Copies of this chain bind each other. A is one copy, B any other.
């Protein structure tokens, strides 16, 4: 099996998958390329060539990937080129993002539960429709438990990173 071909295929497959995470097609291909290239890093020019993309496109997406803590770069002494790599904390950052999203969701569903309780209070007088709170309760349980699990893993990984 030709490793070059395999590489191209994996970039596409991983790229398509990563598009699922709010990334433009080319941004996803860039991230996939970096994941597959590891710590040796990939230069701007290599990205433009390997992905057959415009410089402006690569520049914009690299910017975005850096702003969202997915990508960084290092430089070599005496060279002006940047070697782009995935952020060493990518996994932690992904977990952090999940936790933030879930926290936002939690607050929202608490607001909704309050709204429904309030509404039930009013409706009790008029004999009107009463909301069921089961969905909100279950959803909040779901959010709490998954958050706790991810939080624990995050703490554990963090400890391991610090110890090494």
- What copy number does this chain have within its complex? 2
Query: Assuming the A-B contacts A95-B142, A115-B7, A118-B3, are A104 and B17 also in contact, with contact meaning beta carbons closer than 8 angstroms in the complex?
Result: yes
Mostly, the A contact residues are helix
Q: Give complex CA distance A153, B143 in Å.
A: 10
B115 lies within 8 A of A3 (CB): yes
Residues of B with C-beta under 8 A to A149 = 145-146, 149-150
- With an 8 Å Cβ cutoff, the count of chain A residues facing the other chain is 45
In the assembled complex, 25 residue pairs joining A and B whose CB atoms fall closer than 8 Å, in A order, are: A3-B118, A6-B115, A7-B115, A10-B111, A10-B115, A14-B112, A17-B104, A20-B22, A20-B101, A36-B115, A38-B131, A39-B132, A40-B129, A86-B135, A90-B135, A91-B138, A91-B139, A94-B142, A95-B142, A138-B157, A141-B153, A142-B153, A146-B150, A149-B149, A149-B150
